[in-house]
A and B are shown apart, each in its own frame.
Chain A
Amino acid sequence: MRRNQVAVVGAAETTELGVIPNMSQIQLHADAALNAIADAGLKLSDIDGFATAVETPQQMAHYLGITPTWVDGTSVGGCSFMLHVRHAAAAIEAGLCKTVLITHAESGKSMIGKQPRFTAPDSLNGQFEAPFGVYGPPSMFPIPVLRFMKTHGITHEQLAMVAVVQREWAAKNPRATMKDPITVADVLNSRMIAYPFRLLQCCLVTDGGGALILTSADRAKDFPRKPVYILGTGESVETPMVSQMKTFDSSRAFKVAGPLAFKEAGITHKDVDHLMIYDAFAHLPLYGLGDLGFMPYEEAGKFIADGNTRPGGKLPLNTNGGGLSYMHSGMYGMYALQESVRQMRGIAPAQVPNAKISVCHGVGGMFAASGTIIFTNER
């Protein structure tokens, strides 16, 4: 894909984040969509392209009153929205549509109007994983981490520091769910969830949503907000069964999507001012730093523990507080994208001074899928 041909011109989260007991899941989508439309200074009738995940495009388009000529229902977990951005950019460039709305919302905490997840007993997951006691992401996502730690010499304390540092960022974000400072001891003494991970190394469970509006870079200059350009993109999938990953030492999906985006953007790691790595659990930033090529895996734990990703550090990472402290409704990728856009607009609560390039890396399922978007505010 060509660089900087498409831009984000509207971006917003739901009016509230956290516990929202007075809204169903589709209304959370609509709340985010209406906020994004207002942010872009558009009307719903201006939207001719629409993408969403979990909820179907037909459900949400009808609920919103949109008649799209391009739709994308890619639903590969929490990074679906990174893939939507990539697909939307290609569609806009190809002339299939002009103005794309991407919505995410999940009533993850209140569970209003949310279909329960179900593993069919004759699916491969149902036959070869479910019988062994996996039960929700906390029992599955951390399965690779002990092998990753052994191979790369990562310590429990370093994995605890991931949560500690992200809480420092969250403290600067008024909308973050958890803002009180924590220590390594707090993390390592919190309730055991699935060894080696404890409560403070697992993501929050909240309600909320977000929406993005994309159009061509040429049109973007006429919008009220500072355009945020799509510089590079990547995507891939591996397997829905965590047990069947090629290796636990890295994520194949990450290693395909991340470098693809860097190549497309034509940048090196030194050019990155701001980084988001989807952190459903504390090990994901370490996989991301290694798989995206920022550093050898062996250095990733120490890099975070030494403070390089904290406020004032040389590589600001997960500056909203991440899925561990900001919010996590179930598919966090949209919130990582929102924070990258805020940073590129220069309006983030924990703004990185003079940030020009933001890398936003997402995961779907348990390392099942991945999407990477590189943004810039300079064309």
Chain B
Amino acid sequence: MAEPARAKPKPTPETQHFWDGTKAGELRLQRCDACANVYFPPRPFCPSCASRKVSVFKASGKGKLYSYVINHRPAAPGFTPPYAIAVVELDEGPRMMSNIIDCPQTPEALELDMPLEVAFEALDDKITLPLFRPAKG
């Protein structure tokens, strides 16, 4: 029997551009053409001013560690505890949940506000997840 896999996202019409982006190695966000608000998760209107004129753009992929837990139990399918579940604050403003890779999953190594950069991990030929690792330099 195969190992249980981690939960896999299923895109909707409103989020497809995001998942197309991660597959292409880009972290895509949306900006309101009317009020310049940058927001996440994806939707075809601005949650700040309600304008339907919004644009998709490639984000820098840079951010910092806003908060996290190190989950011990119960572990989600596809994860080996202990593992950190993090919230990353992107340089563009929005925050997103992710995991921190290339870093010990310990309170000592995971310092709040540490700089992070996006890394992409393909789950299959359709879905690639945006993960983060400590920024180099």
Give the nearest-CB partner of B74 in chain A: A135
Q: With A146-B112, A150-B112, A248-B66 in contact, do A139 and B85 touch (Cβ < 8 Å)?
A: yes
Among B8, B67, B68, the residue within 8 A (CB) of A121 is: B8
Among A150, A194, A244, the residue within 8 A (CB) of B72 is: A194
Residues of B within 8 A of A243 (CB): 87, 95-97
User: Cα distance A242–B87 when bound, in Å?
Assistant: 9
Contact between chains at A134 and B41 (CB < 8 Å): no
Contact between chains at B75 and A133 (CB < 8 Å): yes
Contact between chains at A244 and B74 (CB < 8 Å): no
Contact between chains at B69 and A122 (CB < 8 Å): no
Residues of B within 8 A of A155 (CB): none
Give the nearest-CB partner of B70 in chain A: A195
Most chain-B Cβ atoms within 10 A of its Cβ — which of A132, A135, A191? Answer: A132
Mask: chain A, 104-125; 1 = CB below 8 Å from B; 0 = not: 0000000000000001111010
Residues of A within 8 A of B86 (CB): 132
Contact between chains at B10 and A126 (CB < 8 Å): yes
User: Cα distance A192–B19 when bound, in Å?
Assistant: 34
Asked whether any CB of chain A lies closer than 8 Å to the CB of B9, the reply is yes
Contact between chains at B7 and A131 (CB < 8 Å): yes
Instruction: State which residues 53-96 of A face B: CB under 8 Å.
Output: none
CB distance from B120 to the nearest CB of A (A): 13
Among B11, B66, B72, B129, the residue within 8 A (CB) of A131 is: B129
Asked whether any CB of chain A lies closer than 8 Å to the CB of B79, the reply is yes
Instruction: State which residues 126-147 of A face B: CB under 8 Å.
Output: 126-136, 138-140, 142-147
CB distance from B123 to the nearest CB of A (A): 8
User: Cα distance A127–B99 when bound, in Å?
Assistant: 14
Asked whether any CB of chain A lies closer than 8 Å to the CB of B98, the reply is yes
Residues of A within 8 A of B61 (CB): none
CB distance from A203 to the nearest CB of B (A): 15
A interface vs B, CB < 8 Å?
119-122, 124, 126-136, 138-140, 142-147, 150, 191-197, 241-244, 248
